[in-house]
Structure 1
Amino acid sequence: MPAYLLLVFAILTRVVPHHGWLNFTAVGGALLYFGARRSWREMLAPLAALVATDYCLTVFSYHYSFAWSGYVTTWAWYLAVMVLGVILLKSKTTWLRAGTAVVLGPTSFFLISNYAVWAMSSHPVWIPGDMYPHTLSGLITCYAAGVLFYRNDLLSTTIVVGLAFGVPVLVRKLRMERSAGVVEAS
């Protein structure tokens, strides 16, 4: 149940306006947690929910026409991050593994999504006009424009993963210390 609740929270962080909040989004952290805590067959639920969110945001919030080809990379990334959660965090969750997942998730999204924006920058439906020329300079400019979003994604994922995996550990530790104190007092 916590994985599904975190998924709902992640979707809310995308749809509720929060411009002053460093563009906080819980998507990366929620997908890592979902992959670590739920079964393979359940991974279609977050994928479907996030695909629907992408559609609604594009059409109703941003007022763009929806071109599924502009989102295939993002949707593949959603699945890849859940798989990363399975690989790094399902069998054994350590601070090192969680830290690795926190770095790999946002970094992979930054690299893949900015490359896709650069590659599709002349696509008339997805990004009108030539936003970034198809040159090395255009690619570097595209990545430079995404650095602030990368920083925010890295920070958001760190917070979400830290809380999602860390709070249960702290609660267990406090319970063990409290029960050990009760035994000693007896």
Structure 2
Amino acid sequence: MAAYVVLILAILSRFLPHALHTAAWGVTALGGGLLFAGSRWDQSSRWKAVLAVLGIAVSDWVLTAKVYGFPFHISAYAITWAWYGLVCLAASAGLHRRATAVRVITAALALSTGFFLLSNGMVWAGGTMYPHTLTGLAASYAAGLPFYRNDVLSNLAVCGILFGLPALARRMHAQGEHGELTA
């Protein structure tokens, strides 16, 4: 149940920057939320990744068509939706019942780096904003560096909270059972 609540809140977090007029910062809880939700699903529950992607797709439509006022084209999002589905499946495979600090940090960094490479590469390859040269590709990645930094920081912070607080609570509870904590 916690995975679904976190997933819904993570998707809704995509709207918060617009309400606070901080959209340029590129900070949401989506990446960390997907890693956490995926880590709670075993590999036999792959259809749950589809539900996560459908939630993201609805939020993409609302953001694109209603918040930004742009036409919505599924083809503009299909690759990132596949990426988000892959994130859920990878978290299920790599973090389910094995979410150590090293694994979670590695997953958060891989998520941010993969999304940075994918999304900026897609902007370069599929758009007209940058020339289709190595210089244009470099410019696309250079322009995305501030967003990448913020994505790394937000994914690490969200993962730290979502994975760290339950681990801390379990540790405190275990210490309390052994009489190591005093009130």
Q: What is the TM-score of this pair, normalised by structure 2? A: 0.90
Quote the Cα distance in structure 2 between the aligned partners of 1:47 and 1:58: 16
Measure how far apart 1:182 and its partner are: 7.7
**Contact in 2 for aligned 1:88/1:98 (Cα 8 Å):** no
**Contact in 1 for aligned 2:112/2:152 (Cα 8 Å):** yes
Quote the Cα distance in structure 1 between the aligned partners of 2:21 and 2:110: 25
Match of 2:36 in 1: 33
Q: What does 1:1-186 align with in structure 2 at a 5 Å threshold?
A: 1-16=1-16, 17=18, 18-20=20-22, 22-38=25-41, 39-121=45-127, 130-181=128-179
**Contact in 2 for aligned 1:58/1:64 (Cα 8 Å):** yes
One-letter amino acid of the structure 2 residue matched with residue 32 of structure 1: L
Q: How big is the alpha-carbon RMSD for the aligned residues of Structure 1 and Structure 2?
A: 1.8
One-letter amino acid of the structure 1 residue matched with residue 169 of structure 2: V
List gaps (5 residues or longer) in structure 2. Answer: none
For each residue in 1:68-92, what CA deviation from the matched residue of structure 2 results, as whole angstroms up to 9, or x when unmatched?
1111111011111112202220141
Match of 1:125 in 2: none
Count, aligned residues: 176
Task: State percent identity of aligned pairs.
Answer: 41
Runs of 4+, deviation exceeding 6 Å: none
Three-state SS of the structure 1 residue aligned to 2:132 is coil
Quote the Cα distance in structure 2 between the aligned partners of 1:149 and 1:84: 23
**Contact in 1 for aligned 2:33/2:159 (Cα 8 Å):** yes
For each residue in 1:70-120, what CA deviation from the matched residue of structure 2 results, as whole angstroms up to 9, or x when unmatched?
111110111111122022201411111111101110100000010001111
Measure how far apart 1:23 and its partner are: 2.9
Three-state SS of the structure 2 residue aligned to 1:181 is coil
List gaps (5 residues or longer) in structure 1. Answer: 122-129
